[in-house]
């Protein structure tokens, strides 16, 4: 339907149709995605002025970007906040505009495709109705807590009123997204519609006269006193259990703002200032920028995206890499010596798809894309061949010599090695530059980082193409140079070895690990060693830290074949996949600093030796590859911010 009249601003376009409906399209100029900058919001105020002067029969807000609806506020505008007045103005800007949208006399609808995040979802919540286009990539979330801030433009008030306090607090405190199916189940959207019916469905819905959705039952009652106070106390207890050191103050602030201030941050200016100008918010903003830099390496290049992947080796890593590639839509052939060796990988893949894909048809389609291939017939058709066999250099080189003549000339040959030199593996190959390192971390499905390793000559921009492939899988590619342990394993080895030296000195393993989880690590170094396997930790220590004599505690456990989680006992006894920890002692002063210092020092060395291009990439790699406490901004950022305390003598270390 052609519009009768059109009004345009730099970032918005308003079309009025004969049926009285107005269609408002946000299409931020000179940007790939829509973000709500000060200029974009100012123009939105002008749009509301025009609509107020001549109200439509209904308003439908949509995006002109293929990527999605609105990605949120312009996070760069948070970086320069220093005063209480600046923080208040930023919150007030969006709060007042969205309050104004929510109060208009005519029905409003947000037509959502792709990402609808942060301020974008807060704008949608201010509409009477919301429709989600039911297609891959549709994602609704309030992820502000992951940036160390809060949803200040009405989300803390409107989301609990819409879907109930429990579900709303979960979304706000985790940043967890909802796809179109889950958003409809939660009541976050009024319906999910297929792409071909979006305009008709939006038109019908905005003209329906239906009342706006509200949370009902106990979920709705929890928004009222005194049940609201009980829900808030429960949420505060859960936050304290997960973050006892209060490294991330935004989460308790969200609960307080919802429970005591009706979700209106302007009623608590001291909270606004403390959160928006905190070191945690600045550091998490830094981490967000680092993540965006890694994502940029994964953008498609000149070569077409991969369609077919062939994986050789159906063990834990190879099988899980193959499963993830099929999950992300690629055709995958999985090779091993026989079908019996492939079967466990298929079982793990089926469990992954059932967990990740709630639609049985989608899970079945993903499983059908994963094809057992004991004979290796998929090699000739593959755009990328990934080797994931045992860490034996001679066996790998023999495999490459057999694979290369059968591969397409422009296909990539990749190894998932975590410890062997890429330069050594290339020796004797007819096309050595064709071999690239693509090092995934375990578990493949949940670890975001992938190291992309280059050594010597680059055949046909192999590293750039490999990075684009990693991005195609939804992972973060980190370009690194060939060196023992690359970046992540190289920095973890001295960290875990220092923890083992502490055990040799008589400090309890649980005390050591608690010191590092209190510091902000997702798990302690000894639990990590148990998870990786103590035999693997021994090999890594010898290779990466030059340890001829391993720590006594490690050697004794290996001699008893207590190798960690996989044998049921290591530094801990393991039951049902979890370690049993008991700690009777308190941590010696300076223990966390002592443990983290070798990791920081090795990270600095990897930058100085050119394994990674710069300190920012090193921080990104260590954060996303090890879970290094994000609130610090990364090990080298922490070192710079903490100097000299992190480098002065540690009284706990002899």
pLDDT value at 508 more than 50: yes
- Measured CA to CA, the distance from residue 569 to residue 400 in angstroms comes to 37
Parallel/antiparallel/unpaired status of strands 5-8 and 12-16: antiparallel
Q: Tell me how far apart the terminal alpha carbons of the chain are, to the nearest angstrom.
A: 79
Report the chain's mean pLDDT, rounded to a whole number: 92
Residue 144 appears among annotated catalytic residues: yes
Q: What is the pLDDT of residue 547?
A: 59
Residue located via tokens 């505009």:
97
Buried b (16+ CB within 10 A) or exposed e, 2-26: eeeeebebebbbbbbbeeebbbbbb
Instruction: Report how far apart, in Å, the C-alpha atoms of 474 and of each of 179, 209, 327, 550 are.
Output: 16, 41, 11, 38
Q: How confident is the model at residue 391 (pLDDT cuts 50, 70, 90)?
A: confident
Structural tokens at position 519: 């510091």
Q: What percent of the chain has pLDDT over 90?
A: 81
Query: Cis peptide leading into 378, omega within 30 of 0?
Result: no
- pLDDT tens-digit series, residues 103-120: 999 999 999 999 999 999
C-beta separation of 488 from 451 below 8 A:
yes
Sketch out the chain's domains with CATH numbers: 5-277 (3.90.226.10), 301-482 (3.40.50.720), 488-640 (1.10.1040.50)
Residue located via tokens 């209060």:
246
Other C-beta atoms lying within 10 Å of the C-beta of residue 374: 16
Q: What is the pLDDT of residue 205?
A: 95
C-beta separation of 596 from 495 below 8 A:
yes
Q: List for the chain the helix, strand, coil content (%; round to 5).
A: 50, 15, 35
Collect all residues with Cβ–Cβ distance below 8 Å to 543 and sequence separation of at least 6: 419, 484, 485, 493
pLDDT value at 643 more than 50: no
- Spot the catalytic one: 15, 122, 387, 451: 122
Structural tokens at position 426: 């290339």
Q: What value does the mean pLDDT take over residues 190-218?
A: 93
Other C-beta atoms lying within 10 Å of the C-beta of residue 38: 14
Nearest to 553 by CA among 574, 534, 536: 534
C-beta separation of 487 from 315 below 8 A:
no
Q: How confident is the model at residue 523 (pLDDT cuts 50, 70, 90)?
A: very high
C-beta separation of 490 from 484 below 8 A:
yes
- Measured CA to CA, the distance from residue 438 to residue 449 in angstroms comes to 10
**Secondary structure of residue 477 in the 3-state scheme:** strand
Collect all residues with Cβ–Cβ distance below 8 Å to 546 and sequence separation of at least 6: none
- Measured CA to CA, the distance from residue 539 to residue 547 in angstroms comes to 9
Structural tokens at position 236: 């505060």
Structural tokens at position 300: 């498609």
Nearest to 391 by CA among 411, 414, 421: 421
Q: What percent of the chain has pLDDT over 70?
A: 96
- Measured CA to CA, the distance from residue 58 to residue 122 in angstroms comes to 19
pLDDT value at 447 more than 90: yes
- Spot the catalytic one: 43, 50, 92, 144: 144
Nearest to 631 by CA among 642, 623, 643, 640: 623
Q: What is the pLDDT of residue 651?
A: 37
Q: Among 9-23, 158-172, 423-437, 471-485, which is the least confidently predicted range?
A: 423-437
Query: Cis peptide leading into 644, omega within 30 of 0?
Result: yes
Q: What value does the mean pLDDT take over residues 432-438?
A: 92
Other C-beta atoms lying within 10 Å of the C-beta of residue 416: 23
CA angle 264, 132, 186 (to 5 degrees): 60
Q: DSSP label at 226?
A: T
Q: How confident is the model at residue 83 (pLDDT cuts 50, 70, 90)?
A: confident
Q: Provide the phi-psi class of 561: left if phi over 0, else alpha when psi is between -120 and 50, else beta.
A: left
Q: How confident is the model at residue 1 (pLDDT cuts 50, 70, 90)?
A: low
Q: How confident is the model at residue 649 (pLDDT cuts 50, 70, 90)?
A: very low
Q: What value does the mean pLDDT take over residues 325-339?
A: 97
> What pTM does this model have?
0.91
Nearest to 94 by CA among 56, 136, 126: 126
Q: Provide the phi-psi class of 567: left if phi over 0, else alpha when psi is between -120 and 50, else beta.
A: alpha
Q: What is the pLDDT of residue 428?
A: 84
Residue 451 appears among annotated catalytic residues: no
CA angle 388, 482, 333 (to 5 degrees): 20
Q: What value does the mean pLDDT take over residues 632-650?
A: 67
Parallel/antiparallel/unpaired status of strands 129-133 and 108-112: parallel
**Secondary structure of residue 248 in the 3-state scheme:** coil
pLDDT value at 650 more than 50: no
């Amino acid at each position: 339907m052609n519009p009768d009249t059109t009004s345009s601003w730099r970032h918005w376009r308003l079309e009025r149709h004969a049926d009285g409906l107005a269609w408002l399209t946000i299409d931020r100029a000179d940007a790939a995605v829509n973000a709500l900058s000060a200029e974009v919001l100012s123009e939105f105020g002008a749009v509301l002025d025009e609509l107020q002067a001549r109200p439509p029969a209904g308003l439908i807000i949509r995006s002109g970007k293929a990527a999605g609806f609105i990605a949120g506020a312009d996070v760069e505008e948070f970086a320069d906040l220093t005063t209480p007045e600046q923080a208040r103005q930023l919150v007030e800007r969006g709060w007042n505009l969205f309050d104004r949208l929510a109060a208009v006399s005519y029905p409003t609808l947000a037509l959502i495709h792709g990402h609808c995040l942060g301020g974008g979802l807060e704008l949608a919540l201010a509409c009477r109705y919301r429709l989600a286009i039911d297609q891959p990539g549709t994602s609704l979330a309030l992820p502000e807590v992951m940036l160390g801030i809060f949803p200040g433009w009405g989300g803390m008030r409107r989301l609990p009123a819409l879907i109930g306090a429990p579900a709303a607090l979960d979304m706000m405190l985790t940043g967890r997204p909802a796809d179109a199916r889950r958003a409809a189940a939660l009541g976050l959207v009024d319906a999910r519609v297929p792409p071909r019916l979006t305009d008709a469905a939006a038109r019908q819905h905005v003209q329906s006269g239906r009342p706006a959705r509200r949370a009902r039952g106990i979920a709705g009652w929890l928004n009222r006193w005194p049940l609201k106070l009980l829900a808030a106390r429960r949420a505060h207890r859960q936050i304290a259990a997960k973050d006892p050191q209060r490294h991330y103050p935004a989460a308790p602030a969200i609960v307080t703002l919802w429970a005591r201030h009706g979700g209106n941050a302007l009623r608590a200016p001291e909270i606004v200032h403390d959160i928006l100008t905190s070191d945690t918010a600045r550091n998490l903003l830094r981490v967000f920028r680092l993540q965006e830099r890694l994502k940029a390496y994964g953008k498609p290049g000149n070569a077409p995206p991969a369609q077919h992947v062939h994986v050789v080796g159906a063990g834990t890593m190879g099988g899980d890499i193959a499963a993830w590639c099929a999950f992300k839509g690629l055709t995958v052939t999985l090779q091993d010596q026989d079908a019996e060796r492939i079967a466990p990988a298929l079982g793990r893949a089926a469990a992954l798809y059932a967990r990740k894909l709630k639609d049985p048809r989608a899970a079945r389609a993903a499983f059908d894309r994963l094809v057992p291939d004991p004979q290796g017939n998929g090699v000739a058709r593959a755009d990328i061949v990934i080797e994931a066999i045992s860490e034996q250099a001679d066996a790998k080189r023999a495999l490459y010599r057999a694979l290369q003549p059968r591969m397409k000339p422009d296909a990539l040959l990749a190894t998932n090695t975590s410890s062997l030199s890429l330069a050594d593996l290339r020796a004797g190959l007819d096309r050595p530059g064709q071999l690239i390192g693509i090092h995934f971390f375990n578990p493949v499905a949940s670890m975001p980082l992938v190291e992309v390793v280059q050594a010597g000559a680059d055949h046909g921009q192999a590293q750039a193409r490999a990075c684009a492939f990693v991005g195609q899988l939804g992972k973060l590619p980190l370009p690194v140079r060939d060196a023992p342990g690359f970046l992540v394993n190289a920095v973890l080895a001295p960290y875990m070895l220092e923890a083992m030296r502490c055990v040799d000195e008589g400090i309890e393993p649980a005390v050591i690990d608690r010191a590092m989880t209190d510091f902000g690590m997702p798990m302690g170094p000894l639990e990590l060693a148990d998870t990786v396997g103590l035999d693997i930790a021994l090999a890594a220590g010898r290779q990466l830290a030059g340890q001829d004599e391993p720590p006594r505690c490690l050697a004794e456990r290996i001699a008893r074949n207590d190798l960690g989680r996989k044998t049921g006992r290591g530094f801990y006894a393991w039951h049902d996949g979890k370690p049993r920890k008991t700690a009777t002692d308190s941590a010696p002063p300076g223990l966390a600093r002592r443990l983290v210092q070798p990791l920081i020092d090795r990270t600095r060395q990897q930058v100085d030796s050119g394994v990674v291009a710069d300190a920012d990439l090193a921080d990104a790699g260590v954060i996303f590859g090890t879970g290094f406490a994000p609130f610090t901004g990364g090990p080298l950022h922490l070192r710079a911010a903490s100097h000299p305390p992190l480098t002065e003598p540690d009284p706990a270390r002899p």
